[in-house]
């Protein structure tokens, strides 16, 4: 019981004492392109535009109020007929997160722009950035602090030495990124990217900014993936993802497989498996029908926390709709297709 109480204290206090420790993230990072790298804006190898939504529920097995993260995004390719061997990508993303019993809520909205330039016939280089507004707010009356723990329960009537000077903070934020794709033949596609988040070093704190370091640590994200058409009915998609922020490090690796259930790929079955280093195993299943892709994943905790959450980490659901402009239905794809 003592260990369980310690875990509870950590989970309850983390959003307040270290608000800038780690950004929002998704296990299905490959299905959240604009939050992974702004250079992904309009980087759509097999369509002209896309619209997507994402939902993540985390730690519901050990927290009375689980972490819930939601996002919606849209991006499109523009000026493909105006720029020689290149185009612009325009997009936007809205994020909302609710975390912990203190009702910590985050709302972020970003607009992004990227430029994509063909390098010969078999590669593409992209650069992009986004700017946005972020807000975090908290209900101080719902918080419980370590000095209010009487050995058995948290007593909100007990005085606390923790003083919050703000219950809401807002700031402007900016990210930049690069992306490179190589497609030497129709059955092989390789993509790598790197992005830097919070390059303007905004401040975020519910405390007196003079008493603590309120600058959000810069976050770095790098990834590499491939699409390989193994046979007329199977495309494999290996992925590696790495991110670091302050002293937090995350490394994920795994693979999806798309199996064609129809002649031209109108129906596809999707299955995948990922591993987050020292944290979780993440199976994924999904299907695609007429350019609408649904996917579901589950984080199976394998870290020390598994003793308390019975291996139940997080659930994620994603939906993405790819589309074509009316006069561009038959545009040639840059990546393998069925």
> What is the Cα–Cα distance from 105 to 100, expressed in whole angstroms?
9
Residue 183: CA atoms inside 13 Å, Cβ hemisphere, count? 23
Which range (8-22, 56-70, 198-212) has the least confidence?
A: 8-22
73 in a structural domain: yes
328 in a structural domain: no
Task: Please say if the pLDDT value at position 15 is more than 70.
Answer: no
> What is the Cα–Cα distance from 138 to 112, expressed in whole angstroms?
28
Q: Name every residue whose Cβ is closer than 8 Å to that of residue 124 and which is 6 or more positions away in sequence.
A: 116, 117, 118, 179, 180, 181, 183, 334
Token look-up 């494999």 returns 236
Q: When comparing pLDDT for 120 and 159, which is higher?
A: 120
The overall average pLDDT reported for the chain is: 85
285 in a structural domain: yes
Range of 50's domain?
2-323
284 in a structural domain: yes
> What is the Cα–Cα distance from 204 to 52, expressed in whole angstroms?
28
147 in a structural domain: yes
* The pLDDT value given to residue 209: 61
Structure tokens at 260: 């064609």
* The pLDDT value given to residue 159: 64
- CATH number of the domain encompassing residue 196: 2.40.160.60
Residue 272: closest CA among 252, 288, 257, 289: 257
Which range (18-27, 60-69, 309-318) has the least confidence?
A: 18-27
Q: Is the dihedral of CA 335, 272, 49, 26 positive or negative?
A: negative
* The pLDDT value given to residue 191: 97
User: What percent of the chain clears pLDDT 70, i.e. is strictly above it?
Assistant: 81
267 in a structural domain: yes
How many structural domains are present in the chain? 1
pTM check: above 0.75: yes
* The pLDDT value given to residue 276: 96
Q: What mean pLDDT is predicted for residues 218-233?
A: 96
199 in a structural domain: yes
Residue 222: enclosing H or E segment and its boundaries?
strand 219-231
**In the chain, what is the greatest distance between 2 CA atoms, to the nearest angstrom?**
70
Task: Please say if the pLDDT value at position 293 is more than 90.
Answer: yes
**Beta strand pairing status for 188-197 and 219-231?**
antiparallel
The band of 193, judged by pLDDT with boundaries at 50, 70 and 90, is: very high
56 in a structural domain: yes
- For 238-279, the pLDDT digits (tens) are 999 999 998 899 999 999 999 999 878 889 999 999 999 999
**Cα 208 to Cα 166, 167, 202, 212, distances in angstroms:** 8, 11, 15, 7
* The pLDDT value given to residue 328: 62
Q: What mean pLDDT is predicted for residues 76-82?
A: 89
> What is the Cα–Cα distance from 185 to 334, expressed in whole angstroms?
9
Task: Please say if the pLDDT value at position 14 is more than 50.
Answer: no
């Amino acid at each position: 019981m003592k260990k369980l109480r310690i875990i509870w204290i950590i989970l309850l206090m983390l959003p307040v004492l270290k608000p800038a420790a780690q950004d929002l993230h998704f296990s299905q990072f490959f299905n959240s392109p604009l939050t992974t790298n702004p250079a992904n804006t309009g980087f759509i190898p097999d369509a002209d535009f896309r619209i997507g939504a994402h939902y993540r529920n985390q730690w519901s097995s050990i927290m009375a109020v689980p972490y819930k993260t939601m996002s919606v995004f849209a991006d499109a390719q523009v000026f493909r007929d105006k720029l020689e061997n290149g185009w612009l990508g325009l997009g936007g993303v809205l994020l909302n997160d609710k975390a912990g019993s203190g009702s910590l809520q985050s709302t972020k909205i970003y607009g992004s722009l990227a430029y994509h330039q063909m390098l010969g016939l078999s590669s593409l280089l992209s650069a992009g950035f986004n700017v946005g507004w972020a807000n975090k707010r908290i209900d101080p009356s719902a918080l419980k602090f370590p000095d209010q723990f009487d050995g058995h329960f948290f007593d909100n009537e007990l005085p606390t030495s923790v003083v919050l000077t703000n219950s809401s903070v807002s700031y402007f934020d900016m990210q930049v990124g690069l992306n490179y794709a190589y497609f030497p033949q129709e059955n092989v596609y390789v993509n790598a990217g790197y992005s830097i988040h919070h390059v303007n070093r905004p401040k975020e704190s519910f405390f007196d900014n003079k008493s603590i370091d309120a600058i959000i640590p810069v976050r770095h994200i790098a990834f590499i993936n491939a699409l390989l058409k193994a046979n007329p009915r199977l495309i494999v998609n290996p992925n590696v993802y790495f991110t670091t922020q302050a002293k937090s490090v995350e490394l994920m690796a795994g693979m999806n497989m798309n199996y064609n259930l129809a002649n031209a790929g109108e129906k596809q079955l999707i299955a995948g498996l990922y591993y987050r280093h020292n944290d979780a195993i993440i199976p994924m299943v999904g299907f695609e029908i007429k350019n609408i892709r649904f996917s579901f994943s589950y984080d199976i905790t394998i870290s020390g926390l598994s003793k308390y959450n019975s291996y139940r980490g997080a659930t994620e659901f994603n939906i993405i709709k790819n589309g074509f402009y009316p006069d561009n239905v038959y545009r040639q794809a840059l990546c393998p297709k069925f």
